[in-house]
Structure 1
Amino acid sequence: MKQKFVPTYEGELRKHALQIPRCISECSGIRVFGRRIKSLVFSTDVAIIKNINADAVIAVYNFTPQPSITQAIISVSDVPVFAGVGGGYTNGQRSVNMAAAAEQLGAFGVVCNAMITNDAIRDIKSMVEIPVVFTVVSEHVDLDKRLAAGVDIVNVSGAARTPEIVAEIRAKYPELPIIATGGPTDETILSAIRAGANAITYTPPSSKDLFAKDMQEYRDWYEAHRREVDEMLNEE
């Protein structure tokens, strides 16, 4: 089949924005409230969130979830946000309250970590209409009970074993929406997709790494044009 031509406009300033790996387009995507989501950027950095072409944001972090953080991320994001609501130290009624707050702030979904209780999932599901995403870190989790409690989507995060876990879940649940971590290369991303993932989370370079690269380019450019720059500054 002939590949379709896609006209592109980038501009001068925004063409330096981050791009997700193109191979992610090979997955089916998950349709949420009419929007088809294939790629989710795993980040809480608002500068990165504002400057990447992912379909959605998965905003989970290793601190107690707070509505102010969710609000800040949603306020700058141009795409749907799936907000973390805890499940470890933050659990039970606090997670339920966070889920309700996230929905009111405009989140497209809430993400529970692997330690969330089934009771908390049931209470969250009774409180919100947006999808409940449960993070799977092992194929040994009792997923039947999680789904019965109200989980709508699973988010597989099994490091190097992610494709194996995805394949096992897909074999048992042919139509379950599965998000999976894609890893650092096209090969690892495609492995997760071919195992059955419908959407992929992508971890972008850190602001530190991006800045280090830019600063080195600035230093190299200055050394190459130092005389002209110094003359221009002295003239002023």
Structure 2
Amino acid sequence: MKKKVPAYNGTLRDHTIMCPYCISECSGIRIFGKRIKSIAFSTDVAIIKNINADAIIAVYPFTPQAAISQSIISISDVPVFVGVGGGLTGGKRSVRLALQAEHQGAYGVVVNAPIADEVITEIKRVVDIPVIATIASVHTDVRRKLEAGADILNVSGAAATASMVAEIRKEYPDVAIIATGGPTNESILETIEAGANAITYTPPSNGELFARTMKKYREINP
């Protein structure tokens, strides 16, 4: 029997960004007692403060900086998974960033696809939060990432994501998988059906949101 869920949005928060409802179809991943299904991919603190995602994944194309992760963790009302490198940044620096992220309150650390397996092992040795390994290609050796100590896989294969998730799920039926869901309900559901436990969602940018708001203002005051 489908349950009716009472809701209250208020006036000032009625414009909160909502993750696609279909994400609720996935099982979720329970981390430190919190069940996480939807994960917003953003480092914009205004968006992070105004989105209904269960968690935030803060990965960006620059050298990870503790000041950035601290800012995001302090503003977020939900768990944050922090990027600690693996591409341009690696080795002992990634290990130190991971330990610092844990001290700042991160719920997990995310390592990029090129990271060396021994660095994953070293990060896992020093932190007591999940190590999330990004899988960006069908050629990635998933077994080695798991054996190195990765707790969760973050599958980000663009259009190939759903098929990559399905292949991983066949070989590893119990591994926790986060995956990018794509831009439509259909692509999200396809990824969930392939075996993803949680879905990352990329919200619209500040520029896109401002454009929509200004369009409404112009309609009200032509």
TM-score calculated relative to the size of structure 1: 0.93
Q: How far did residue 57 of structure 1 move?
A: 0.2
- 1:118 is aligned to 117
**Aligned partner of residue 180 in structure 1, secondary structure:** strand
Give per-residue Cα distances to partners, 1:39-79, cap 9 Å, x unaligned.
10000000000000000000000000000000000011000
Counterpart code for 2:134:
T
Q: How far did residue 141 of structure 1 move?
A: 1.1
- 2:100 is aligned to 101
- 1:170 is aligned to 169
Structure 1 residue 200 corresponds to structure 2 residue 179: no
Unaligned runs of 5+ in 1: 224-236
Q: Larger % of helix: which?
A: 1
Structure 1 residue 30 corresponds to structure 2 residue 29: yes
> Which aligned segments of 4 or more residues in structure 1 are displaced greater than 4 angstroms?
none
- 2:208 is aligned to 209
Counterpart code for 1:70:
S
Alignment of 1:72-151 (within 5 A): 72-151=71-150
Counterpart code for 1:86:
G
- 2:5 is aligned to 6
Counterpart code for 2:92:
Q
Q: How far did residue 83 of structure 1 move?
A: 0.2
Q: How far did residue 139 of structure 1 move?
A: 2.2
**Aligned partner of residue 221 in structure 2, secondary structure:** helix
Over aligned residues, Cα RMSD in angstroms?
0.6
Give the greater-gyration-radius structure (CA): 1
Give per-residue Cα distances to partners, 1:96-136, cap 9 Å, x unaligned.
01101100000000000001101111110011000000000
- 1:42 is aligned to 41
Question: Contact 1:182–1:189 at 8 Å: present in 2 too?
Answer: yes
- 1:234 is aligned to none
Unaligned runs of 5+ in 2: none
TM-score calculated relative to the size of structure 2: 0.99
- 1:229 is aligned to none
Identity of aligned residues (%): 63
User: How many corresponding residue pairs?
Assistant: 222
